[in-house]
Amino acid sequence: MCWGMVRQDLHGRGLGRLLTEARMRRIQEEPTVREVALNTSQFTSAFYERMGFQLISVERDGYSPGLDRCEMRFLVDGPATETAQ
């Protein structure tokens, strides 16, 4: 996944969850996809964990000083389903 952003003043309204769920449903319709990978900062990694992604690794200051790079994965195990709550 790449660049799934919601404007900061719209955070907390469920838009990010809706957009991510829609993208994940579409991804899971592809029979050859077994894994979804993304990288994000420490500021949004918890959001993706709530969506079912697992934190694989953290590179401190991986983007810039104070901004860590968090590698995350979601293992696709079948047809489209609701993501983790």
Tell me the pLDDT of the chain (85 aa) as tens digits.
777 788 999 988 999 899 999 999 999 899 899 999 999 999 999 999 999 999 999 999 999 999 999 999 999 975 444 444 3
The pTM for the full model equals: 0.80
How many angstroms separate the CA atoms of 52 and 83, rounded? 6
Half-sphere exposure of 83 (CA within 13 A, CB side): 24
